[in-house]
Amino acid sequence: MGAYILRRILLMIPTIFGIMAITFAIVQFAPGGPIERVIAQLQGNDISGADRLSGGGGDPGSRGQEQMGGGPINSKYRGAQGLDPEFIAKLEKQFGFDKPPLERFGLMLWNYLRFDFGQSYFRSISVIDLIKEKLPVSISLGLWMTLLSYGISIPLGVAKAVRDGSKFDVWTSAVIIVGYAIPGFLFAILLLVLFAGGSFLDWFPLRGLVSDNWASLSPGGKVIDYIWHITLPIIAMSLAAFATTTLLTKNSFLDEIRKQYVVTARAKGLTEHRVLYGHVFRNAMLIVIAGFPSAFLGAFFAGSLLIEQIFSLDGLGLLGYESVLGRDYPVVFATLYVFSLLGLVLGLLSDLIYTWVDPRIDFERREV
């Protein structure tokens, strides 16, 4: 198993390199980069982020206005007509665009190997500190949603498979289908209206991961306050995942229960509990475990974006989305690198869980 783990770790290097290379190449051709954004701010089209531009001090807007009018025409960037080329060159140097693309890409990879993500273009903070600041929210959403959905869905899926066709199976399937049909963000809004001070009850907070006075609370009070804030977002996120995992577990168990080895085990006089959890469970759970990495990453990033927005939870999903819109490339590439690395590690972890659930699986004897 050690050789297989080593091979998988070594394969992570070209995989991450390919992901970053493709993304970097796409960004080179994407219109409206950070320099165009600054130029737009100087022209008065977008001044929201001008004061946050990092650099050698002073307001980039006031420095840019001194360079506007009377200078040679510079058409390299959209909207740069009338700006002094020296000013454009200073912007390129500030953002690192004065170097060739290959040199910038190689420098970025070298820094990322050391987890040095540099500074945000439009925030006065390093990218690693920004990620650390947003990470607790994303970990809370992704981890608890995955644990809740798997913790409920697997036992329920097994119960539905054992009682296939019964009234219990029919009415739980109806509830699951209705839950799956409701979008998570719509259910989140419904929860806010019903339980967060909308038109009905005021049981849960409207926004944030913790209260403003969280630091002054006792350890027990901090735990209660945290659970109080995270309850509604987790319920909203778990709805679709809960339905999917339950039906996947049921169908997987049904397929295994109908196989010959189950009939043989029952003929030998084994109890139903022994048949289900001693024989069927290991085989049936393989397909469920296979979906764990994608389920966790989906909750960790894409699945949490709208939930973060609705409940005012400032996590990595919202950070990555806003950085793409704002052309904050250091944050974009850093979040992509973190999620890619996390996905590869979770994929390896999924294989290790395979061998724990079913020791008959031997990855040493197969090609990666």
Domain containing 98 equals 34-114
If you average pLDDT over each of 65-74, 95-104, 303-312, which comes out highest? 95-104
**Partners of 119 in beta bridges:** 126
Of the listed ranges 73-82, 207-216, 236-245, the least confidently predicted one is 73-82
Q: Is residue 4 part of a domain?
A: no
pLDDT digits (tens, 9 = 90+) for 228-266: 888 888 888 877 677 878 888 888 888 888 888 888 888
Residue 57 vs residue 315, higher pLDDT: 315
DSSP string, 89-158: HHHHHHHTTTS-HHHHHHHHHHHHHTT---B-SSSSSBHHHHHHHHHHHHHHHHHHHHHHHHHHHHHHHH
Q: How far apart are CA 16 and CA 317, in angstroms?
A: 20
Query: Within this chain, do residues 73 and 171 fall inside the same structural domain, yes or no?
Result: no
Query: Within this chain, do residues 257 and 311 fall inside the same structural domain, yes or no?
Result: yes
State the CATH number of the domain containing residue 325: 1.10.3720.10
Query: Within this chain, do residues 149 and 108 fall inside the same structural domain, yes or no?
Result: no
21: pLDDT confidence band, cut at 50, 70 and 90? very high
Query: Within this chain, do residues 93 and 142 fall inside the same structural domain, yes or no?
Result: no
Query: Within this chain, do residues 180 and 85 fall inside the same structural domain, yes or no?
Result: no
Residue ending a domain, choose from 59, 79, 114: 114
Taking 80 as the threshold, does the pLDDT of residue 61 lie above it? no
pLDDT digits (tens, 9 = 90+) for 31-46: 777 777 777 777 666 5
Q: Is residue 208 part of a domain?
A: yes
pLDDT at 364: 61
Query: Within this chain, do residues 323 and 208 fall inside the same structural domain, yes or no?
Result: yes
Domains identified in the chain, total number:
2
pLDDT at 48: 44
Q: Is residue 119 part of a domain?
A: no
Q: Is residue 233 part of a domain?
A: yes
Query: Within this chain, do residues 97 and 193 fall inside the same structural domain, yes or no?
Result: no
Q: What is the mean pLDDT of residues 22-38?
A: 79
Are the CB atoms for 206 and 196 separated by under 8 Å?
Answer: yes
* pTM for this prediction: 0.70
Q: Is residue 13 part of a domain?
A: no
Average pLDDT, the chain: 77
pLDDT digits (tens, 9 = 90+) for 261-299: 888 888 888 887 888 887 787 778 777 776 666 666 666
pLDDT at 81: 63
Query: Within this chain, do residues 102 and 246 fall inside the same structural domain, yes or no?
Result: no
If you average pLDDT over each of 29-43, 149-163, 311-325, 348-362, which comes out highest? 149-163
Q: How far apart are CA 80 and CA 312, in angstroms?
A: 37
Of the listed ranges 87-96, 293-302, 335-344, the least confidently predicted one is 293-302
Listed residue (232, 242, 227, 287) closest to 149, CA to CA: 242
